[in-house]
Amino acid sequence: MGSSKFRQHAVKAIPLIIVPIVFLASVQSLKMAVGAAATTWIAAAVSIFVMVYAWYVAACVQRGQDEVQAAGANYAAKWGMAAGQIGFFTLLALPPFQDLVADLVNQPRGKLLLGMTIGAVGVVLLQTVGIIVANALWWKARR
Protein backbone atom coordinates (compact mmCIF):
# COMPACT_ATOMS: atom_id res chain seq x y z
CA MET A 1 0.00 0.00 0.00
CA GLY A 2 1.44 3.35 -1.00
CA SER A 3 2.14 6.12 1.46
CA SER A 4 -0.63 8.34 0.11
CA LYS A 5 -3.19 5.50 0.26
CA PHE A 6 -2.12 4.78 3.83
CA ARG A 7 -2.66 8.43 4.73
CA GLN A 8 -6.08 8.40 3.09
CA HIS A 9 -7.13 5.32 5.06
CA ALA A 10 -5.64 6.73 8.27
CA VAL A 11 -7.65 9.94 7.84
CA LYS A 12 -10.81 7.89 7.26
CA ALA A 13 -10.11 5.98 10.49
CA ILE A 14 -9.73 9.08 12.69
CA PRO A 15 -13.43 9.07 13.75
CA LEU A 16 -12.92 5.53 15.09
CA ILE A 17 -10.57 7.02 17.67
CA ILE A 18 -12.11 10.41 18.30
CA VAL A 19 -15.80 9.45 18.69
CA PRO A 20 -15.33 6.90 21.54
CA ILE A 21 -12.88 9.19 23.37
CA VAL A 22 -15.24 12.17 23.16
CA PHE A 23 -18.18 10.02 24.27
CA LEU A 24 -16.31 8.55 27.25
CA ALA A 25 -15.10 12.02 28.24
CA SER A 26 -18.63 13.41 28.14
CA VAL A 27 -20.57 10.56 29.80
CA GLN A 28 -20.92 12.31 33.16
CA SER A 29 -22.04 15.57 31.55
CA LEU A 30 -24.55 13.70 29.39
CA LYS A 31 -26.00 11.93 32.42
CA MET A 32 -26.52 15.21 34.21
CA ALA A 33 -27.93 16.93 31.13
CA VAL A 34 -30.24 14.30 29.65
CA GLY A 35 -30.44 11.53 32.27
CA ALA A 36 -29.17 7.98 32.55
CA ALA A 37 -31.73 6.41 30.20
CA ALA A 38 -30.96 8.80 27.36
CA THR A 39 -27.23 8.38 27.96
CA THR A 40 -27.65 4.61 27.57
CA TRP A 41 -29.36 5.14 24.21
CA ILE A 42 -26.62 7.56 23.17
CA ALA A 43 -24.02 4.93 24.16
CA ALA A 44 -25.81 2.38 21.98
CA ALA A 45 -25.88 4.84 19.05
CA VAL A 46 -22.18 5.60 19.46
CA SER A 47 -21.36 1.88 19.56
CA ILE A 48 -23.41 1.21 16.42
CA PHE A 49 -21.80 4.16 14.64
CA VAL A 50 -18.27 2.98 15.49
CA MET A 51 -18.99 -0.60 14.34
CA VAL A 52 -20.64 0.44 11.07
CA TYR A 53 -17.97 3.04 10.33
CA ALA A 54 -15.24 0.45 11.02
CA TRP A 55 -16.88 -1.84 8.45
CA TYR A 56 -16.94 1.06 5.99
CA VAL A 57 -13.23 1.79 6.49
CA ALA A 58 -12.42 -1.92 6.15
CA ALA A 59 -14.41 -2.11 2.90
CA CYS A 60 -12.56 0.93 1.54
CA VAL A 61 -9.21 -0.65 2.37
CA GLN A 62 -10.16 -4.05 0.91
CA ARG A 63 -11.53 -2.58 -2.29
CA GLY A 64 -8.07 -1.58 -3.50
CA GLN A 65 -6.23 -4.80 -2.62
CA ASP A 66 -4.66 -7.21 -5.05
CA GLU A 67 -4.44 -11.00 -4.47
CA VAL A 68 -1.30 -10.84 -2.31
CA GLN A 69 -2.66 -8.05 -0.15
CA ALA A 70 -5.96 -9.91 0.22
CA ALA A 71 -4.06 -13.02 1.35
CA GLY A 72 -2.22 -10.89 3.91
CA ALA A 73 -5.50 -9.44 5.16
CA ASN A 74 -7.00 -12.94 5.49
CA TYR A 75 -3.96 -14.10 7.48
CA ALA A 76 -4.16 -11.03 9.70
CA ALA A 77 -7.88 -11.50 10.32
CA LYS A 78 -7.38 -15.17 11.16
CA TRP A 79 -4.58 -14.68 13.68
CA GLY A 80 -5.13 -11.08 14.74
CA MET A 81 -8.60 -11.71 16.15
CA ALA A 82 -7.28 -14.44 18.43
CA ALA A 83 -4.30 -12.32 19.45
CA GLY A 84 -6.60 -9.39 20.28
CA GLN A 85 -8.81 -11.58 22.44
CA ILE A 86 -5.79 -12.99 24.27
CA GLY A 87 -4.51 -9.44 24.74
CA PHE A 88 -7.78 -8.32 26.30
CA PHE A 89 -7.93 -11.22 28.73
CA THR A 90 -4.28 -10.62 29.60
CA LEU A 91 -5.25 -7.03 30.45
CA LEU A 92 -8.00 -8.39 32.68
CA ALA A 93 -5.30 -10.22 34.68
CA LEU A 94 -3.45 -6.97 35.48
CA PRO A 95 -4.35 -5.43 38.88
CA PRO A 96 -4.77 -1.81 37.64
CA PHE A 97 -7.21 -2.99 34.98
CA GLN A 98 -8.99 -5.18 37.52
CA ASP A 99 -9.36 -2.14 39.79
CA LEU A 100 -10.89 -0.18 36.93
CA VAL A 101 -13.38 -2.94 36.17
CA ALA A 102 -14.19 -3.42 39.87
CA ASP A 103 -14.85 0.30 40.26
CA LEU A 104 -17.21 0.21 37.30
CA VAL A 105 -19.04 -2.94 38.46
CA ASN A 106 -19.56 -1.73 42.04
CA GLN A 107 -21.67 1.09 40.72
CA PRO A 108 -25.31 1.39 39.66
CA ARG A 109 -26.67 -0.32 36.54
CA GLY A 110 -25.60 2.52 34.23
CA LYS A 111 -22.00 2.16 35.28
CA LEU A 112 -22.21 -1.60 34.81
CA LEU A 113 -23.46 -1.09 31.25
CA LEU A 114 -20.70 1.42 30.65
CA GLY A 115 -18.16 -1.10 31.96
CA MET A 116 -19.52 -3.79 29.66
CA THR A 117 -19.41 -1.37 26.72
CA ILE A 118 -15.84 -0.41 27.52
CA GLY A 119 -15.00 -4.13 27.71
CA ALA A 120 -16.55 -4.86 24.33
CA VAL A 121 -14.83 -1.85 22.77
CA GLY A 122 -11.57 -2.98 24.40
CA VAL A 123 -11.84 -6.41 22.78
CA VAL A 124 -12.58 -4.90 19.37
CA LEU A 125 -9.71 -2.39 19.65
CA LEU A 126 -7.24 -5.07 20.72
CA GLN A 127 -8.45 -7.33 17.93
CA THR A 128 -7.75 -4.47 15.53
CA VAL A 129 -4.26 -4.05 16.97
CA GLY A 130 -3.75 -7.82 16.68
CA ILE A 131 -4.84 -7.76 13.04
CA ILE A 132 -2.46 -4.89 12.27
CA VAL A 133 0.45 -6.69 13.96
CA ALA A 134 -0.37 -10.01 12.25
CA ASN A 135 -0.57 -8.23 8.89
CA ALA A 136 2.82 -6.59 9.51
CA LEU A 137 4.32 -9.97 10.46
CA TRP A 138 2.86 -11.56 7.32
CA TRP A 139 4.41 -8.88 5.12
CA LYS A 140 7.74 -9.16 6.98
CA ALA A 141 7.79 -12.93 6.36
CA ARG A 142 6.99 -12.46 2.66
CA ARG A 143 9.84 -10.04 1.97
At 109 the pLDDT is: 52
At 31 the pLDDT is: 87
Residue of higher predicted confidence among 64 and 38: 38
- pLDDT tens by residue, 76-99: 777 777 777 777 778 777 778 777
Among 25-39, 62-76, 93-107, 128-142, name the most confident range.
25-39
This prediction's pTM: 0.53
At 113 the pLDDT is: 59
Residue of higher predicted confidence among 132 and 49: 49
Q: How far apart are CA 69 and CA 73, in angstroms?
A: 6
- pLDDT tens by residue, 96-121: 877 777 676 666 555 655 676 677 77
SS3 assignment for 11-52: HHHHHHHHHHHHHHHHHHHHHHHHCHHHHHHHHHHHHHHHHH
Biggest CA pair distance of the chain: 55
